[in-house]
Structures are given as C-alpha cells and as structure tokens.
Amino acid sequence: MVGAQSDSSGITLIGAESDASGITQTGAGSDSRGITVVGAQSDSSGITPFGAGSDSSGITLIGAESDSSGITLIGAESDASGITQTGAGSDSRGITVVGAQSDSSGITPFGAGSDSSGITQTGAGSDSRGITVVGAQSDSSGITLIGAESDASGITQTGAGSDSRGITVVGAQSDSSGITLIGAESDASGITQTGAGSDSRGITSVDA
C-alpha cells in the first residue's frame, strides 16, 4: 500500500474512505467489487455513485436526485407515482421524454399536460394510445383532439383530419347526436346536412 488505509473490514483504500458497509471508495481506480470509481463516495448500501449521490435504494445517480420509490432522476423530478421524469433521456419505462413532467396517473406528457382522464396530451408526438397529436388537448371523455373541440357526446372534432371514428372532417362540428358535420348544420333528426356532398347516410345532397 502507498499512502493507503484500510477500513474496518480490512479492505484497502486508495486515497479515499470507506462507507458504513465497508466498500472501498477510491479517489481513482476500482472499489472492492472491481468497479471503476472517480472521486466517488458510497451510499449506505455500498453502491458506488460517480460524482453524485445515491438514493436510498442504492441506485447510482449522476448529477440528479431520486424520488421516493428509488428511481433514478436525471435533472428532473418525479410525480407522485414515482415515474422518473428526466430533463432529457428516458423515464423508468424507457420512454424518451424531454423537459417533461408526469400527470397524477404517471403517464409521461411531452412538453404538455394531461387531461382529467390521465390521457397524455403532447405539444407534439403521440398520446398514451399511440395516436399522433399536435398542440392538442383532450375532451372530458379522454378522446384526443387536434386543434379543435369535442361535442357533448365526446366525439372528436378536428380542425382538419379525422374524427374518432376515422371520418375525415374539415372545419367541422358535430350535432347533438355526435354525427360529423362538414361545413353545414344538422336537421332535427340528427342527419348530417352538408353544403355539398353526402349526408351521413351516403346520400348525395347539394345545399341540403
């Protein structure tokens, strides 16, 4: 040994100290398990952190903190369910997140918030069902909206694109029965009346 000391378990220390579990902490080199450490200390479970601290479960943290469930956080915080929220990187489920936080159900939003049903609403990307949304919010039934709102029946009404049934709509709203309207209104029976084209039964109508 050169300038070395030993901890209570007889493990050689190189320019460093040992934690309460007797794991060697070196200024540089390897600890007693052969893991390379640089300027590190160990947490109470003897796990070596690199230039950072460790959480209570012994998970290595790099310039970050851990939430109450012991999941590693990188430059971010965790929601109440213990899902990792990273400034950039991946959460604990391997989903890439950038500058994100999580809603109360633990679903990761991308630069956005979640609606009351816990469906992810993203500034751009996909919601939790894999549907691509851009600048979207969700209605009360948790259906994804693209630049638009939903009617009382929870049918998606989009500024352009498709509603939740896969019907293409442009600048449309829905009547009280949830039937899609294209640039027109509905009659009292809830049949779609279009300025030109077909109604909801496939009948061609002009200014009908």
- Give the per-residue pLDDT at 146: 38
Residues 6+ apart with CB under 8 A from 189: none
- Residue identified by tokens 């200390």 is 41
What pLDDT was estimated at residue 20? 41
**End-of-domain residue from the set 15, 34, 57:** 57
Has residue 174 been placed in a domain?
yes
Do 33 and 72 belong to one domain? no
Tell me, yes or no, whether 133 lies in a domain: no
CA angle at 114 for the pair 111 and 116, rounded to the nearest 5°: 170
Last residue of a domain, one of 57, 77, 102: 57
Same domain, 46 and 83: no
Q: 44 and 55 in contact (C-beta within 8 Å)?
A: no
Quote the pLDDT of residue 91. 41
Out of 103, 128, 153, pick the residue that ends a domain. 128
CA dihedral 178, 182, 183, 189 (to 10 degrees): -50
- pTM of this prediction? 0.12
Q: Is residue 134 part of a domain?
A: no
Q: Is 139 inside any structural domain? A: no
* pLDDT tens profile 19-77: 444 444 444 444 444 444 433 344 334 443 333 343 434 444 333 333 333 433 333 33
The residues that bridge with 180 in the sheet, in sequence order, are 174
For position 205, what pLDDT does the model report?
36
78 lies in the same domain as 112? yes
- 147 pLDDT band, cuts 50/70/90, is very low
Cα–Cα distances (Å) from 49 to 10, 82, 142, in that order, read 22, 21, 42
Yes or no: say if 109 and 133 are a contact pair by the CB < 8 Å rule: no
Alpha-carbon distance of 93 to 80, in angstroms, equals 16
Pair 52, 100 in one domain:
no
- Domain membership of residue 136 (yes or no) is no
- Compute the mean pLDDT over every residue in the chain, rounded to the nearest whole number: 40
Predicted local distance difference test score (pLDDT) of residue 152: 37
122/165 same-domain check: no
Q: Report the half-sphere exposure of 192 (CA within 13 A, side-chain side).
A: 22
CA-CA distance, 156 to 144, in Å (whole number)? 7
Residues 48 and 74 in one domain: no
Q: Is 154 left (phi over 0), alpha (psi -120 to 50) or beta?
A: left
Q: What is the percent of the chain with per-residue pLDDT over 70, rounded to a whole number?
A: 0
Name the domain count of the chain: 3
**pLDDT digits 0-9 by tens, 102-129:** 333 333 333 334 443 344 444 333 444 4
Predicted confidence at residue 130, as pLDDT, reads 42
Report percent pLDDT > 90 for the chain.
0
Q: Is 207 helix (H, G, I), strand (E, B) or coil?
A: coil
Q: What's the rounded Cα separation, in Å, for the pair 84 and 64?
A: 11
Whether residue 150 sits in one domain with residue 123: no
Q: Is residue 16 part of a domain?
A: yes
Tell me whether residue 78 is in a domain: yes
Name the one residue in this structure whose structure tokens are 């971010």. Answer: 76
71 with 90, same domain: the answer is yes
Question: Domain limits at 207?
Answer: 145-208
Q: What integer pLDDT is reported at residue 59 of this predicted model? A: 41
Question: Where does the pLDDT of residue 179 fall: very low under 50, low under 70, confident under 90, or very high at 90 and above?
Answer: very low
Instruction: Let me know whether 11 and 42 are in one domain.
Output: yes
